[in-house]
């Protein structure tokens, strides 16, 4: 029986310990039921506000860059490839024509000199033929050219 008393006494102690634990749990439950939990989001709000400001600045920078790109695109003029080739072809033709014209203008004095020499040769040949055909005219010309005496 002593063992039975000992077991009963152990059970009684365990029950009292359990009751104490239950009482403490009830007190904690009552305390927790009346306790108001408030979430402190000020740190999170600060981080989100900072991130929002950063995003706004990034969007503004992107808008400025986009406006700059649009401005340069509107300002630029695109030409078709055929128009560019035509322009360069005409430019080469104009340069060739101008170069040839400058060459021709620089040759005018040479051409004039050659024409003068040819005209002189033809005139001398014409007069020689004329003087050979009419000896009287040749004599009159010689008298005119070299007068014998002055009157």
Show me where the domains of the chain are located: 1-36, 43-76
Per-residue pLDDT tens, the chain, 151 aa: give them.
788 888 888 889 999 999 999 999 999 999 988 888 788 888 899 999 999 999 999 999 999 999 999 998 888 888 889 999 999 999 999 999 999 999 998 889 888 999 999 999 999 999 899 989 998 988 888 888 887 765 5
Distance (Å, whole) CA 135 – CA 107: 42
- Using a cut of 0.75, tell me whether the model's pTM lies above it: no
Could you tell me how many residues make up the chain?
A: 151
pLDDT at 150: 57
How many angstroms from the chain centroid is the CA of residue 134?
86
137 with 131: CB under 8 angstroms?
yes
pLDDT at 126: 92
What secondary structure does DSSP assign to 30-52, as a single string?
HHHHHPPP----HHHHHHHHHHH
pLDDT at 149: 64
């Amino acid at each position: 029986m002593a063992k039975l008393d000992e077991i009963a006494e152990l059970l009684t102690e365990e029950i009292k310990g359990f009751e104490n634990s239950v009482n403490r749990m009830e007190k904690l439950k009552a305390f927790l039921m009346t306790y108001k939990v408030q979430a402190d989001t000020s740190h999170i709000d600060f981080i989100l506000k900072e991130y929002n400001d950063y995003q706004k600045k990034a969007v503004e920078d992107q808008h400025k860059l986009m406006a700059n790109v649009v401005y340069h695109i509107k300002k630029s003029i695109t030409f078709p490839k055929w128009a560019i080739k035509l322009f360069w072809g005409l430019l080469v033709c104009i340069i060739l024509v101008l170069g040839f014209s400058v060459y021709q203008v620089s040759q005018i004095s040479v051409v004039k000199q050659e024409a003068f020499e040819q005209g002189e040769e033809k005139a001398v040949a014409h007069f020689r033929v004329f003087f050979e055909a009419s000896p009287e005219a040749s004599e009159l010309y010689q008298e005119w050219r070299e007068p014998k005496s002055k009157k």
